[in-house]
């Protein structure tokens, strides 16, 4: 008789680190929403601080999986879903909270998230093809989605200097019916690098 799949019993130690990653990313989104409601800068600062913490958990879940030799298909899917939250949706939400709220900004931020989702889906599909003799993926095609941490660091510096909202670096441009904050183009660049097929990043 086929056993019922138990979600909790199916988790390995590494999967709990992955869930901690997702927890941090979700917290960052809520912090951005709270900042938009209350306007308290410490809320936004907490949200930004949760992304580096999510990155730490993301790194450790891989180390723990290799240490315990417990890599699994479930773990890989969990990792991708957590990364979409922490390094895709959360950085976009933080950018919106910082003032990138024009119509063109929405389009670019949505493009960024879609690039992150596409990049992770491609990795999951092609991981076996990219695996070397040692059973390990040798390189990333395109920049890995946690590279969006750089964008959050830039936002953090802007926040520390008080350069958010109407003071956002680069100002604002009116293009047709919608507004564009040039700083959001960093998100367009980041998303485009994620889905690059020719850019190969060695995997440690």
Asked if the structure places residue 2 within a domain, the reply is no
Q: Which helix (H) or strand (E) holds 139?
A: strand 139-141
Asked if the structure places residue 113 within a domain, the reply is yes
- Predicted local distance difference test score (pLDDT) of residue 26: 98
pLDDT for 88-131, tens place per residue? 999 999 999 999 999 999 999 999 999 999 998 888 787 656 55
Query: How many structural domains does the chain have?
Result: 1
User: 195 — phi, psi (to 5°)?
Assistant: -95, 5
Two structure tokens written together for 5? 């799949």
- Residue of 13 and 23 predicted with greater confidence: 23
Domain housing 153:
7-202
CATH of the domain at 167: 1.20.120.1760
Asked if the structure places residue 95 within a domain, the reply is yes
Cα–Cα distance measured from residue 127 to residue 111, given in angstroms and rounded to the nearest whole number? 24
Asked if the structure places residue 121 within a domain, the reply is yes
- Residue of 102 and 10 predicted with greater confidence: 102
pLDDT for 139-156, tens place per residue? 678 899 999 999 999 999
- Sequence-ordered alpha helix ranges (H) in the chain: 7-10, 13-38, 41-67, 73-84, 90-98, 103-130, 149-160, 185-194
Asked if the structure places residue 1 within a domain, the reply is no
**Model confidence, pTM:** 0.86
Specify whether the CB–CB gap between 116 and 191 falls below 8 A: yes
Asked if the structure places residue 79 within a domain, the reply is yes
């Amino acid at each position: 008789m086929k056993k019922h799949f138990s979600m909790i019993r199916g988790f390995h130690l590494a999967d709990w680190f992955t869930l901690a990653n997702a927890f941090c990313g979700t917290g960052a989104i809520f912090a951005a929403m709270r900042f938009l409601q209350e306007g308290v800068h410490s809320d936004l600062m907490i949200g930004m601080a949760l992304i580096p913490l999510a990155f730490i958990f993301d790194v450790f879940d891989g180390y723990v999986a290799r240490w315990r030799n417990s890599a699994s298909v479930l773990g890989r899917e969990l990792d991708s879903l957590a990364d979409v939250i922490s390094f895709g949706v959360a950085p976009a939400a933080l950018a919106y909270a910082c003032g990138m709220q024009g119509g063109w900004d929405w389009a670019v931020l949505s493009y960024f998230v879609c690039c992150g989702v596409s990049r992770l889906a491609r990795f999951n599909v092609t991981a076996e093809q990219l695996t070397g003799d040692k059973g390990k993926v040798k390189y990333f095609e395109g920049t890995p989605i946690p590279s969006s941490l750089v964008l959050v660091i830039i936002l953090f510096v802007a926040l520390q200097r008080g350069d958010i909202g109407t003071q956002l670096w680069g100002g604002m441009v009116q293009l047709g019916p919608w507004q564009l904050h040039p700083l959001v183009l960093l998100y367009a660049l980041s998303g485009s690098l994620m889905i690059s097929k020719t850019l190969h990043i060695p995997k440690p």
